[in-house]
Amino acid sequence: MLSYRHAYHAGNFADVMKHVVLTSLLKYLTQKDAGLCYIDTHAGAGSYDLRSEYAQKTGESGLGISKLWGTRDAPEAVKDYLALVHQFNSAPDLTKYPGSPWFAATLLRPQDRLALCEMHSSDFPLLKKMFAKDRRVHCHLEDGYRFSAGLVPPIERRGLILMDPSYELSHEYETAIATLGKLHRQFSTGTYVLWYPILDERRTVSLRRHIENLPIRDVLHLALRVADRKSLPGMYGSGVIVVNPPWTLRGAMETALPFLAVELGTSDKATSEIEQWVNE
């Protein structure tokens, strides 16, 4: 698990979708004055150089953020996301891509708090250095699956928990679902975001079955497939499972996801999906 480096995949279509969702959630949750706790179980390095050897080796950002860089006419949720990526680059050219912790730290306020978990020995120092001067941010060299249980319920009583594992190990799907269930038992009112890659439709069916077996009553499933399995071997889509989504999220994604399917699709098989997996 510790061999995974997100630098190879930064800014790909899955990052774009995930961060459009994350931006939309954070903008809604920060409308209330009360403090919010953001927890990231797999925070990564926090920032990625798209000119690096890692990024250049795969070129995945070319099928993701690069396709949208010059876009001006986009749904509001995508515009909000793109504005943040432009802000992060602070120049006309796209050279860097922010990780989820940066999106969160930028949108959160002085009364909010961030707890970031990362285990990779190379990524953690980069993450810690990035937020060294931000007193709201606490970085933990810990296994996010285990350590997050001690972080909920947060003292703020409001929270957004992002679970974005690499799924390098076959049992990690089960671990992610089990962790989601445990955290929800301890903090049932939090908003949870679980990202997963779409490599095989049977895995998505299995995930839905396991989610429906949890004592969770409000689950929205979002998916983006830029191609089908035959035309794009490997990861041809990604999904986001949102527990306790705000009422605004579905409407925002009903315009954002079809737009992303058109703009990021690599074949005429590109699709988007919004489905309530579990109803209140």
Q: Give me the active site residues, please.
A: 164
Long-range contacts at 72-75 (CB < 8 A, ≥ 24 apart): 74/259, 75/252, 75/255, 75/256, 75/259
Q: Are strands 137-140 and 159-163 parallel, antiparallel or unpaired?
A: unpaired
215 by Cβ neighbours in 10 Å (0-12 / 13-18 / 19+) ranks as: exposed
Biggest distance spanned by C-alpha atoms of the chain:
48
Q: Is the peptide bond before 110 cis (omega within 30 degrees of 0)?
A: no
The Cα–Cα gap between 110 and 34 comes to: 11
Kindly give, in sequence order, each residue whose CB lies less than 8 Å from that of residue 7, ignoring residues fewer than 6 positions away.
45, 48, 49, 52, 54, 55
The Cα–Cα gap between 40 and 6 comes to: 15
∠ CA(110), CA(115), CA(121), 5° rounding? 130
**What phi and psi, each to the nearest 5 degrees, are found at residue 121?**
-65, -25
Please give the single-letter amino acid code of residue 227: A
